[in-house]
Amino acid sequence: MSTSSPGVAVVVGGASGIGLASARRLRASGFDLVIADINDEAAGTVAAELDGRAIHLDVTDEGSVTTGFAGIEDLRAVVNCAGLSIPGAITELELAGWQTTVDICLTGSFLVLKHAGRHIADGGSITMIASLNGRQPGTGMAAYCAAKAGVLMLVEVAALELAERGVRVNAVSPGLVQTPLTEPLSFIPGLTEEYLENTPLGRVGQPDDVAATVAFLASADAGWMTGAAIDLNGGAHLQRYPDILGKVRALAQP
């Protein structure tokens, strides 16, 4: 570990997309990095690029989260980027799809907060990647919307509880960001267009748009910020989410 480092930053889900961009930003800020992901190969590649180390961590498995955080010293910053969405109308969504989404997005956030909260140094920073869908409903996204809304409240409770040690807990709520997670959406005709019509700044996000705010939250410049949810979406929260279900159903029409 370098002597000038502000400490160790763990990026959960750091092997791809927003997590990868966040890891690069945090490294540029001087943190020593741990990339914690279920994708061991990609995590290893990112860790090698950033002179850090990779650990296997599954946010849905408490044993894995416990072990992952227990082995880390001088922990100063944690970012949780693990997430996915199993889509489906409420009347059609399989319970398993609901549970998988809630397990990874909401229960996973709880487990990361629980074990990061135990091990992080006083004055540290924990950032959860929530979503525009935590406050803005989208058809076909019941599980994801509900889970991310839960993450926003979880962050507020954690901010209250961890403040006595000076640990700050915040959420970042991105709108549509181009990553491997959202690539399938680009194949739904008209979806991106409808999103952009409802986005005042007129563009989708790139992972680095989110990473810049993640790095800010981990820095001393955000030292008075806790319990916040930062909307990062080109203004899309001011308008409405595209009708994904309507578009998918139109595709299925002969």
Q: What is the 3-state secondary structure (H, E, C) of 146-178?
A: HHHHHHHHHHHHHHHHHHHHCCEEEEEEECCEC
59 binds ligand NAI (CB under 6 A): yes
The pair of structure tokens assigned to 182 is: 């959202």
Report which secondary-structure segment, H or E, holds 16.
Answer: none
Q: Contact region for ligand NAI (CB under 6 A) — 14-22, 67-75, 135-143, 156-164?
A: 14-22
13 binds ligand NAI (CB under 6 A): yes
- Residue 69's closest CA among 34, 119, 104, 20? 119
Decide if 241 is catalytic. Answer: no
Nearer to ligand NAI, 9 or 104 (CB): 104
Cα-Cα-Cα-Cα dihedral sign, residues 111, 112, 114, 119 = positive
Task: State whether residue 72 is helix, strand or coil.
Answer: coil
Residues 191-230 that bind ligand NAI (CB under 6 A): none
39 binds ligand NAI (CB under 6 A): yes
Closest separation between CB of residue 247 and ligand NAI, Å?
Answer: 16
Q: What is the DSSP string of 193-223?
A: HHHHHT-TT-S-B-HHHHHHHHHHHHSGGGT
Binding string to ligand NAI for residues 131 to 160, with x set by CB under 6 A, is what? x-----------------------------
Task: State whether residue 96 is helix, strand or coil.
Answer: helix
Which of 57, 145, 155, 236 contacts ligand NAI by CB under 6 A? 57
Nearer to ligand NAI, 54 or 159 (CB): 54
Which residues in this chain contact ligand NAI in the complex, by CB under 6 A? Answer: 12-13, 15-19, 37-39, 57-60, 81-84, 104, 108, 129, 131, 174, 176-177, 179-182
